[in-house]
Amino acid sequence: MNTGGRLIAGSHNRNEFVLINADESARIRSVQELRGQTCEICRDEIELSVDGEPFVACNECAFPVCRPCYEYERREGNQACPQCKTRYKRIKGSPRVENDEEEDDVDDIDNEFEYGNNGGMGFDQVSEGVSVSRRHSGLDLDSAPPGSQIPLLTYGDEDVEISSDRHALIVPPSLSGHGSKVHPVSLSDPSIAAHPRPMVPQKDLAVYGYGSVAWKDRMEEWKRKQNEKLQVVKHEGDPDFEDGDDIPMMDEGRQPLSRKIPIKSSKINPYRMLIVLRLVILSLFFHYRILHPVKDAYALWLTSVICEIWFAVSWVLDQFPKWYPIERETYLDRLSLRYEKEGKPSELSPVDVFVSTVDPLKEPPLITANTVLSILAVDYPVDKVACYVSDDGAAMLTFEALSETAEFARKWVPFCKKYLIEPRAPEWYFCHKMDYLKNKVHPAFVRERRAMKRDYEEFKVKINALVATAQKVPEEGWTMQDGTPWPGNSTRDHPGMIQVFLGSDGVRDVENNELPRLVYVSREKRPGFDHHKKAGAMNSLIRVSGVLSNAPYLLNVDCDHYINNSKALREAMCFMMDPQSGKKICYVQFPQRFDGIDRHDRYSNRNVVFFDINMKGLDGLQGPIYVGTGCVFRRQALYGFDAPKKKKAPRKTCNCWPKWCFLCCGSRKNRKAKTLAAADKKKKNREASKQIHALENIEEGSVTKGSNVEQSSEAMQLKLEKKFGQSPVFVASARMQNGGMARNASPACLLKEAIQVISCGYEDKTEWGKEIGWIYGSVTEDILTGFKMHSHGWRSVYCTPKLPAFKGSAPINLSDRLHQVLRWALGSVEIFLSRHCPIWYGYGGGLKWLERLSYINSVVYPWTSLPLIVYCSLPAICLLTGKFIVPEISNYASILFMALFSSIAVTGILEMQWGKVGIDDWWRNEQFWVIGGVSAHLFALFQGLLKVLAGVDTNFTVTSKAADDGEFSDLYLFKWTSLLIPPTTLLIINVIGIVVGISDAISNGYDSWGPLFGRLFFALWVVIHLYPFLKGLLGKQDRMPTIIVVWSILLASILTLLWVRVNPFVAKGGPILEICGLDCL
């Protein structure tokens, strides 16, 4: 480096140099020509070292960071590289910080403890400390008189006449007339007088830690930029940090938006050990059962063993997917800090919300209106939300009700956002018994709430008037306001209809704020087309939304499931928009919670065991299954694309062995690897020719050379149209991975295109319902759709916020509940008999084997109804015939039976513990498993076999018989249906068996009571499990509890038989006959 006769001062380790110009007017400047790269943190150029190379902070990835930012990050930041997250190592010249490794080969004692000496002060404080230490030591450069003897720096020679304690670091400008006044960085404690060191020619000036005003200004500018760019968040929930620790968001990627919370080892480890122990007990149990047949009741014994083996297999399918249960926690504050910066537009991703309804007379419009209002008032940027309502019945009642809902939303939405109302469905907000003044401080809240309640009551009256009007349809059909006939007068033959109520026509709320988009959609229906029920309606909404808004994420809710937590979308975005793990998530499933269910939940409508135990277990594998509502999807996953695959790092090889050592063992591995690679390549080529799974494959196929570019582009377009349909607008939107709309597209053109994509013939010869969207072939399209996405390598997430995200209504009377279970079981049977059955479909994809077990269990469980109904009949048969399925029980057998029943009970207790489920919910679930198994599952099995194999579609009618008024009146509503026959029969024969068994024991004496206890135990097991069903049959008993009625009948029957047996009016030796002396002839 050409110094031009000027003095060089600076630090080799800090890459800082200062030239003191001896010729020009005194000035100190940094060497601009030595700077090269730009620091990624402060945007200043990175200075060079004395070797002429740029300063490198991280030896792993060489992420460009300047020396000051490196020092600041080690002292006050995360002490790690922002890019590769590798901990910074101490470089020579840098002070040591906590957790630095010992470096025996580095001799840098002068700088090793620099931070410790200045007490951990900032750089500005250090500069101030220098002045203080100078004054304390009598070495104040600012106030030094011109005549005082101050040592000068030379060009490398030391003035021997100056003592070692008089050496200085920088030439005072007032004495030399060259250079500028500069405060050097102190190397000692400010409270102690500075002790200058002797300077010898062999020492590098870098060890003295030179500073300058330019450095101080640079640090102040850098801090100012960091305060604008970075924000500090309060860390919550991480045990590695103490309360009160503030973590600077130096690297946003290091602050995840969510985290997994594994179940405590004290709860999960005993649970896993008990599962293994239960397997051992089951093995010993079946060993005993098979080797000890009952010869005098061989048929009963064989039947019971077959049923028990099936129950064991069913238990394995249900149990092992719960091996890795987890919980999750989200950080909404981090989501806002990252994507909603003050003064800038929100960067949260748009979301399209789908609401589906069919018959407004069965699904009340007021319920649908509340769901829509809760969506429009959600806590999310209004320009990022679009609500699409699918009316698959083309009912004018739904259309008019939605129009009234859009008008009322202009008042309701600003009221909710102004006062942070929860929940934001007005029906449930006004009817819930709660302290609505809690946390409300605005003086006008009470007045505006009363006005809003009055407005909502008027809104309800309008909706009720529409419902009353719709009860009687005119012969000529309904007409619109302009006199034209309503297009949906024929529900099976009508054109497609789309109406945008809010969001694009300038309609704003009462406070002149923008409202989310609200769109009414009714797809075209024509005779002779298979419309695929709900799955077809949802696919129509996907295409319409892809044309009109094309948000990258979709939320699917039923019309009776309103948003109970206004931050539900943000909860989902904490997973979907996480830069580290969000790209592989296909959907976020929320649990279903319900209103209007009685406290005892007689028929297990809440389904707590499934949502709080089974789903948490699946979340630890590849994710929960899709349950049909309350789910946020990634649009690209619904389009059938494969999940992004993580590139594997190259294997580390050892160079310590000679190459000839690997010739023998390595050749076999290489051949195997080449074979697998060739097989994978053939498979990928075969799949690529069959369907297009990834956008990258599509785009790569279009890249050709020369004159073939145009032909390749046309071929790619044909492939896309064959997959997605004949709509260029929709095909273009499907290729946008992050969503968005095409530029310069007029609303009229988009609306015309949207009408086209909901036409009847649009899906013909495409992959809709096969590989794209909601999958056809089952009434439970939710299981099939989630299974297809998991087979493509995606994973799902189960989100359980403290405040339930969604709430809905459930059928609480017995008949409606059984028909709901019948529909679910029928869909599982259809999947089992289809090509998409998880037993044989989806191998070679990304589906994990424990996740596959859960899907197999979800389609196999209806078949359990056959062994279950047989097993529930065995106790009655044994009591009536005097036989039993188990031979005379030995001590070993008694221990096995006790161990088996104990393991079942303890397993349930441990599941309740880590799943946070109450014993009442667990027991109701066990009871309804039996009730549904012997009724709805059995009918679903036969109905599914007839539908799939014979093409016969059967339906079961429900007849309402009686009803009561009052709260939970539907609970006591009795509706006769054929589903009630099997459990009623089982209940009657088991009660008769108990009566006959007890009577027989009374007749045969004391010795017959021992064998009777085993038979009575199984019979009572059946009766106790069917007890809620019996309560449903008897209905509401105002005067006498049901249990008293049941046991009264049972005891009366026993006492009657006992009376007949004892007969106190008849002598034990028989009747005494005497001649009365009367002639009766």
Cα→Cα distances 1053→873, 992, 1041, 1042, Å: 21, 9, 19, 17
- pLDDT attached to residue 579: 83
d(CA 11, CA 27): 18
d(CA 796, CA 624): 6
- pLDDT attached to residue 1045: 55
- pLDDT attached to residue 253: 43
- Structure tokens that stand for 260 in this block: 């997994």
- 199 near 169, Cβ under 8 Å? no
Among left, alpha and beta (phi > 0; psi -120 to 50; other), residue 10 is left
- Structure tokens that stand for 329 in this block: 């926690």
Give 945-982 pLDDT, tens digit per residue. 888 877 776 664 444 333 344 555 555 565 667 888 88
Please tell me what DSSP assigns to residue 1075.
-
Please tell me what DSSP assigns to residue 257.
S
d(CA 191, CA 952): 95
Cβ burial of 993 (10 Å; 0-12, 13-18, 19+) is buried
Residue the block writes with tokens 């310590």: 656
- pLDDT attached to residue 962: 37
Helix axes 814-832, 849-860, angle to 10 degrees: 120
- Structure tokens that stand for 584 in this block: 């592989």
- pLDDT attached to residue 136: 42
- 972 near 1035, Cβ under 8 Å? yes
* Residue 696 Cα to chain centre, angstroms: 27
Cβ of 445: how many Cβ atoms within 10 Å? 16
- 623 near 855, Cβ under 8 Å? no
Please tell me what DSSP assigns to residue 718.
H
Q: Which pLDDT band, with edges at 50, 70 and 90, does 475 fall under?
A: confident
Residue the block writes with tokens 């006004």: 430
- 518 near 403, Cβ under 8 Å? no
Q: Which of 593, 617, 1006 is nearest to 809 (CA)?
A: 593
Cβ of 281: how many Cβ atoms within 10 Å? 20
d(CA 1009, CA 997): 9
Active site residues: 392, 782
- Structure tokens that stand for 94 in this block: 């840098």
Cβ of 893: how many Cβ atoms within 10 Å? 16
Q: What is the mean pLDDT of the chain?
A: 75
Sign of CA dihedral 50, 56, 62, 66: negative
Q: Which residues does residue 247 pair with via DSSP β-bridges, in sequence order? A: 233
SS3 663: helix
Give 630-653 pLDDT, tens digit per residue. 999 999 999 988 888 876 655 544
Query: Which of these ranges, 363-372, 495-504, 861-870, 931-940, has the smallest mean pLDDT?
Result: 495-504
More confident of the two residues 599 and 123: 599
d(CA 48, CA 10): 12
SS3 452: helix
Q: Which pLDDT band, with edges at 50, 70 and 90, does 851 fall under?
A: very high
SS3 164: helix
SS3 794: coil
Q: What angle do CA 606, 609, 612 make, to 5 degrees?
A: 95
Q: Which of 368, 821, 372 is nearest to 555 (CA)?
A: 372
- pLDDT attached to residue 1005: 65
Q: Which residues does residue 594 pair with via DSSP β-bridges, in sequence order? A: 808
Give 698-707 pLDDT, tens digit per residue. 444 444 444 5
Q: Which pLDDT band, with edges at 50, 70 and 90, does 153 fall under?
A: very low
What sections of 890-960 are H helices per DSSP?
891-915, 919-933, 936-945
- 410 near 507, Cβ under 8 Å? yes
d(CA 79, CA 72): 9
Cβ of 335: how many Cβ atoms within 10 Å? 20
The residues, any chain, with a CB within 8 Å of residue 1047's CB and separated by 6 or more, are: none
* Residue 513 Cα to chain centre, angstroms: 32
Beta strands in 187-296 (DSSP E): 232-234, 246-248, 258-262
The residues, any chain, with a CB within 8 Å of residue 92's CB and separated by 6 or more, are: 13, 106, 108, 111
Give 11-41 pLDDT, tens digit per residue. 444 444 444 444 443 333 333 443 457 787 7
Beta strands in 956-1027 (DSSP E): 959-962, 974-976
What is the pTM assigned to this prediction? 0.71
